[in-house]
Amino acid sequence: MSTVKFPAVLRANVGGARDVEAAGSTIGEVLDTLVVTYPSLRDQLFTEDGELNRFVNVYLNGQDVRYLDGRGTVVAAADEVRLLPAMAGG
C-alpha cells in the first residue's frame, strides 16, 4: 500500500482525508484503486478516454510521473504519491 496525499481541493472526494492508503504496483493501478473506492474522483483525475487529466499532476516521491513512466510508473509499498491540480488564487 502506498500513501496518496490529497490537496484540500480534492479532499471532499475522499471524505475529507489528507492522505489515503491505496493498493497497486503502478501509478495506474493505484489511481484505479482510488476511483473504485471514491468514484467521484474519476472525473477529476481522468478524461473520458481514461487518460490522466493534464491539469492534475501526479508526483511519485516528488517526481512528476509524466517524466517517469506515466501510468506505468512502478510504485513500491513505502512510496508517496501526491495529486496536485493547479491553483488560481492570488
Partner 1 sequence: MPKTYNELLREARSEVREISPAETDALRQRGGVTVIDVREASEWDQGHVPGATHVSKSYLESQIEAAVPDRAAPVILYCAAGMRSLFAAQTLAQMGFTDVASMTGGFQAWKAGGLDWTTPPKLTDQQKLRYSRHLLIPEIGTAGQARLLGSKVLLIGAGGLGSPAALYLAAAGVGTIGIVDFDVVDLSNLQRQVIHTNDRIGEKKVDSARRTLTALNPDVTVVAHEEMLVADNVDRLIAGYDVILDGTDTFETRYILNDAAVIAGIPVVHASVFRFEGQLTTFIPYVGPCYRCLYPTPPPPELAPGCSVAGVLGVVPGIMGLLQANEVLKVLLGIGETLAGRLLLFDALETEFTELKLRRDPKCPVCSDAARAAREAGTPLPVSTFSEGVFMLGGSR
- List interacting residues with partner 1 (CB under 8 A): 7-10, 44, 53-57, 59, 62-64, 66-67, 82, 84-90
d(CA 30, CA 66): 15
Complex with partner 1: residue 25 or 53, whichever CB lies closer:
53
Q: Is the dihedral of CA 7, 12, 16, 21 positive or negative?
A: negative
Give residue 32's identity as a one-letter amino acid code.
D
- Least distance (Å) between residue 62 CB and partner 1: 5
Q: Residue 63 corresponds to which amino acid?
A: Q
Indicate the residue among 24 and 82 with the shorter CB distance to partner 1.
82
Smallest distance, partner 1 to C-beta of residue 21, A: 18
CB nearer to partner 1: give 22 or 45.
45
Closest CA to 21 of 81, 85, 83: 81
Q: Minimum distance between the CB of residue 44 and partner 1, rounded to whole angstroms?
A: 6
Handedness of CA 44, 62, 29, 72 (dihedral sign): positive
